[in-house]
Amino acid sequence: MTQTIKYFKDRYDAIVIGGALAGLASALTLAKKGKDVLVLEQHNLPGGVATSFVRGGVEIEGTLHEMMSIGPKDSPLKIRKFFEECGVEINWLRVPDAYRFVDGKTGMNVLVHPGTHGNFETPAFEIARACGDEDGSLFKKILSLLQLCSRVYDSVNILSVTHMSKVRMLMEHPDFVKTAGYSAKEVIDTFDLPKSAVDILSAYWIYVGDILENLPFTVWAVLMADYLGYGSYVPAHFSHEMSLKMAERAMDLGCQVEFGIRADKILVKDGHVYGVRLKDGTEIFSDYVVCSAYPDKAYTSMIEPLSEVPEGALKFVNSKTVGVSCFSVVMLLDDSPENLGIHDYSTFYAPEGMDLNQIFDEYAGEGPYNYITSICTNLANPNASPKGTCIYSITALPRAEAWFNVTEENYAEMKKKNAEYFIRMESERLGVDLKEHILEIVIETPVTIAHYTGAYRGSVYGYMHTMDDHIVARLQMSENENFIKGLAFAGAHQISGDGMGPAVTNGRKAAKIILDQMEEDREAGR
């Protein structure tokens, strides 16, 4: 008689839907607490957008430009610390510069280098010098602004994991409290900087997807402090190294990680999760689920039955603005960066000037887009491609609504039009015809992201940080937004926001919510 092998256990302590960075961070955190965890990933590989692909026999990074919150080995920041604590060994390479900023309208062209260990003198000096600082007064103003960013950054790192009274918060984190209600533009304006300096300091705005007048200063401060005070890093074997090693370590800690299996439904009864249903109808049971899909998707089509979705959950998702998507041209070129005139790892280019409102409006359309970031992977990772070649990407981050009117009939045309525009624009800036040097090319669009990850509207950056949806409010309201007991969300759409570093932090936060819920249920005798 043949014995049937049971694939899943009768019950798990927790189920994680999605094996991208956030989901894997949740799994690792739960496993370290001794929990029996099942991870379900719809693809045959972990990582989501933290992935790579092979063209012409060469592995190429799929999405990652740079990682924040890593820090040097002798002074690690929170993401490096988390990986080290979990036993996930990553070979981190420090990116040599912060960015080059090029304004095609004014002729501004400046290379900015990050400091180390939270020191901002280098970037402050380079920005001030580029703006014609003659007596050092501008340097002092910029340095003072960046040091304010650093103090806010330190406060956010503490307050995101430490509950404290408003009085204590005011006493111990005065700069955070004083600036929390203001936009980046409002705080920057108090330093009376020339527009040229503000333009250079605005370059990173695209990585949070909102213009400075609508972007909370807190978010901008964290970004600037991390990137300009400590520098950024990339894994030697691309972002897929992170996801693969996280998955391997999760399995070492006892997690069951399954690929090619899609969870379609989250089962709920009397306001509490009790399991998931797979695409093939199989039901797997657990009282706790971490979901990597956007709440927009979960609350409208994944909760079973939908009558268990509270009205407040629907109001919550309707109040959010979905963040930006991605259009990227990734090329393998047939010569070295030096021979092609590529000297900088990262470049922000505004060919028609830094009018952020105009750029932001353009990003709501189908393109072409006139604010781009270009990355030459080999200048941070010399072994990224075979000798005598290099990997070069040109990226814009259009808004989620940008490709609403793109159809099956005109998709190829829109894709080609934007790609050719990007290549021509960069060729003119570099003084070399990139088109003549392409060995392999991959074009990533918002549709690519939506199809590959299932991300709502093809968004890579979760919910947009705005003055109406502030990180401070997110922190204060987080406990009130757990609408279904036993359900937590992990991904770019959570409290810490967008980017691969914040995704890891969001995954840890989701695990903390689940652990707290487990304790609450235990005390209640559930």
Q: In this predicted structure, which of 5-9, 88-92, 159-163 has the lowest mean pLDDT?
A: 159-163
Omega before residue 386 within 30° of 0, cis: no
At residue 211, what are phi and psi to the nearest 5 degrees?
-75, 160
Is the pLDDT at 302 greater than 90? The verdict is yes
Is residue 369 within 8 Å of 363, Cβ to Cβ?
Answer: yes
Residue 415 and residue 445 share a domain: yes
pLDDT at position 387, please? 97
User: Does residue 494 or residue 234 have the better pLDDT?
Assistant: 234
Name the nearest CA neighbour of 355 among 243, 248, 198, 174.
Answer: 198
Structure tokens at 105: 């309208």
The DSSP symbol for 274 reads E
The model's pLDDT over 268-290, given as tens digits with 9 standing for 90+, comes to 999 999 999 999 999 999 999 99
> Which range, of 325-334, 340-349, 446-455, 474-483, averages the lowest pLDDT?
474-483
Q: Residue 318 has what pLDDT? A: 87
Residues sharing a CB contact under 8 Å with residue 106, sequence separation 6 or more, in sequence order: 196, 199, 353
pLDDT at 480 over 60: no
Residues 136 and 205 in one domain: yes
Q: CA geometry: angle at 125 spanning 119 and 127, to 5°? A: 110
Q: What CATH number does residue 299 fall under?
A: 3.50.50.60
Alpha helices in 38-192 (DSSP H): 78-86, 121-130, 137-159, 166-172, 174-179, 184-189
| Inside any domain, residue 44 | yes
Same domain for 257 and 344, yes or no, is: no
Last residue of a domain, one of 417, 435, 464: 464
What pLDDT sits at residue 1? 47
**Residue range 96-110: average pLDDT?**
97
Residue range 376-414, pLDDT digits in tens: 999 999 999 999 999 999 999 999 889 888 899 999 999
Per-residue pLDDT, 142: 98
What is the C-alpha end-to-end distance of the chain, expressed in Å? 40
pLDDT of residue 147: 98
Same domain, residue pair 119 and 165: yes
Instruction: Classify residue 357 as exposed, middle or buried by CB count within 10 Å of its CB (0-12, 13-18, 19+).
Output: exposed
- Confidence at residue 166, expressed as pLDDT on a 0 to 100 scale: 77
Rounded CA separation 218/426 (Å): 33
Interval 43-67 mean pLDDT:
93
Residues 455 and 326 in one domain: yes
**pLDDT for position 273:** 97
Of the candidates 213, 219, 299, 186, the one whose C-alpha atom is nearest the C-alpha of residue 473 is 219
- 168, 298: one domain: no
**Average pLDDT, stretch 330-348?**
98
- What band does 469 get if pLDDT is binned at 50, 70 and 90? confident
Residue 526 has pLDDT above 90, yes or no: no
Listed range (31-35, 405-409, 414-418) with the worst mean pLDDT: 405-409
Q: DSSP states of 348-360 as a string?
A: EEETT---HHHHH
How does residue 218 score in pLDDT terms, banded at 50, 70 and 90?
very high
Q: From CA 227, how far away is CA 504, in angstroms rounded? A: 17
Q: Which of these ranges, 30-34, 127-131, 504-508, has the smallest mean pLDDT?
A: 504-508
How much is the pLDDT for 479?
A: 57
Last residue of a domain, one of 226, 252, 275: 226
For the cut 60, the answer to whether the pLDDT of residue 116 exceeds it is yes
Mean pLDDT calculated for residue range 302-313 = 95
- Per-residue pLDDT, averaged over 167-183, amounts to 89
**Range of weakest confidence among 192-206, 294-308, 442-456:** 442-456
pLDDT at position 457 is 79
Q: What percent of the chain has pLDDT over 70?
A: 96
pLDDT band at residue 466, thresholds of 50, 70 and 90?
confident
Average pLDDT of span 412-441: 97
Alpha carbon 250 to its chain's center:
22
- Pair (137, 271) in one structural domain: no
CA distance 379 to 97: 10
**Looking at residue 28, what is its pLDDT?**
98
CATH, residue 374: 3.90.660
Together in a domain, 128 and 245: no
Per the structure, the count of domains in the chain is 3
Q: Is residue 284 part of a domain?
A: yes
Q: For residues 213 and 301, state if they share a domain.
A: no
Token digits of residue 42: 């719809």
Residue finishing a domain among 202, 226, 250: 226
Structural domain boundaries enclosing 422: 321-464
- Count CA atoms closer than 13 A to 113's CA, side-chain side: 10
Cα 454 to Cα 307: distance, rounded to the nearest angstrom: 24
Q: What pLDDT was estimated at residue 453? A: 84
Q: Could you give the C-alpha distances from 470 to 165, 209, 476, 494, in angstroms and in order?
A: 19, 14, 10, 12
67 belongs to a structural domain: no
